[in-house]
Structure 1
Amino acid sequence: MIRVVLADDEAMVRAGIAAILGSDPGIEVAAQAGTGREAVDQVARHRPDIAVLDIQMPELDGLTAAAEIKRLRPETGVVMLTTFGEDAYIERALSLGANGFLVKSGDPTELIAGIRAVADGAAFLSPRVAKRVIDQLPRSNSGARDRISVLTPRETEVLALLGSGLSNADIAARVHIVEGTVKAHVSAILGRLGVRNRVQAAILAYQAGLVQSLD
């Protein structure tokens, strides 16, 4: 069971998202919050697998709340909710360690897929968000290629699969190794590349030419 804390300052939006998540028998909304401060408190109290945070909230905005949650409980995945056009927040959210980025107006199945992907250890960007991120990246980046040159061939292979959006379990099946070994490779990759999370690693994989898209 994937346990979620959901935070949005609009009660009707919050109720709608909770209903969507509740339609999946494998997801439980453990608590809801209407402010960023409440979100941090609820995460500390319920210790969820995932915190779903609106960007615009009173007391603490979603980005500040995300930073506090990652500091207090790094193992909780953070998924940011955004409305179309808030591109300025994407880079900051990723730099703070957000594991996923979803558009509120997206398909409900995308929301569930994103929660499941982050719970499984993968990064998840809404296709609309991913396209906007990718459109801002250089198609060829020698600096990125230099950075990944420190990786072993196996780590480079894992990074390419990670950048394609695969979970640890999917990567393990693809390269015929156990999931624990994949986790060890991912941890080593993040450390060697000096990135904080899988989303940042996936973007670097794209910049280095290892993958064609982050969808």
Structure 2
Amino acid sequence: MQRVLCVDENELVQAGLRSILSDEPWVASCLVAPSMEVAWQVARRHRPQLVLVSTSLGGRSGLELCTTFKKHMSHVRVVLMSGEGRLSAAQALHHGADASLSKHMPRAAIAAVLRRVAEGGRVFPKDAGPPAVQLSPRELDILQHVASGLSNPEVAATLNLSRHTVKQHTSAVYRKLGVRNRAQAASRAQELGLLP
């Protein structure tokens, strides 16, 4: 069980993150702070294990806060959140972040990233430009059914396709996602925000 601190000046974003985290079994409590100063006071008092930091905090960069955490509370895992544009993985790593995510990602994808980081992982989306993984509408369709636990014959029946066609599409999806099985495909797709 982990204490999580969300640092963002927007109350709606704070409420959204609180809502996402309240559904997560590994979260003990979710603290919020609207500024760097308040975040630092809250962190010293409550000792969170995971901190989400917005890259724009009242004109001062959240990158600075990320660096401060890494310097003075090295045990804390920090996730940088960007609203506008995409933060490069190199930039995030340079400031000591363990992950970066976009505020525009689907709820399930944000929860998946945070869980991975809480478990000790690092998650950085591919740098700017089009998404690294581009699936056809049919491949996305099949991915969603596979991720929900259906077998290839069940997917074939549901989508009115031959088993051979489903197998071909499933293989293409695995190849594009760089995974070997259904569980990995579902996990990777959530990280990339491909699943609702």
TM-score under structure 2 normalisation? 0.61
Q: 2:103: which partner in 1?
A: 104
Measured after TM superposition, the shift of residue 90 of structure 1 is 4.7
User: 104, 127, 132: which one pairs with 2:128?
Assistant: 132
Measured after TM superposition, the shift of residue 74 of structure 1 is 0.6
Q: 1:15: which partner in 2?
A: 15
Q: Any idea what SS the aligned residue of 1:18 has?
A: helix
Query: 4+ residue runs of structure 1 moved beyond 3 angstroms?
Result: none
1:112 to 1:96, Cα distance in 2 relative to 1, 3 A: same
**In 1, Cα distance between the equivalents of 2:108 and 2:85?**
21
Query: Within 5 A, what are the aligned runs for 1:142-153?
Result: none
Query: Normalized per residue, which structure has more helix?
Result: 1
Q: 2:146: which partner in 1?
A: none
**Is residue 2:52 matched to residue 1:52?**
yes
Unmatched segments (≥5 aa) in structure 1: 136-163, 165-213
TM-score under structure 1 normalisation? 0.56
Query: Within 5 A, what are the aligned runs for 1:27-176?
Result: 27-58=27-58, 60-87=60-87, 90-125=89-124, 129-132=125-128
- The percentage of counterpart residues that share the same residue type is 25
Unmatched segments (≥5 aa) in structure 2: 132-177, 179-190
Q: 2:155: which partner in 1?
A: none
Q: Any idea what SS the aligned residue of 1:40 has?
A: helix
**Are the aligned partners of 1:37 and 1:59 in contact in 2 as well (CA < 8 Å)?**
no
**In 2, Cα distance between the equivalents of 1:69 and 1:134?**
31
**Are the aligned partners of 1:6 and 1:53 in contact in 2 as well (CA < 8 Å)?**
yes
Q: What is the count of residue pairs matched by the alignment? A: 137
Residue type of the alignment partner of 1:130? K
**In 1, Cα distance between the equivalents of 2:111 and 2:84?**
19
**In 1, Cα distance between the equivalents of 2:89 and 2:38?**
22
1:131 to 1:48, Cα distance in 2 relative to 1, 3 A: same
**Are the aligned partners of 2:3 and 2:29 in contact in 1 as well (CA < 8 Å)?**
yes
Measured after TM superposition, the shift of residue 107 of structure 1 is 1.1
User: Which structure would you say has the larger Rg?
Assistant: 2
C-alpha RMSD of the superposition:
2.9
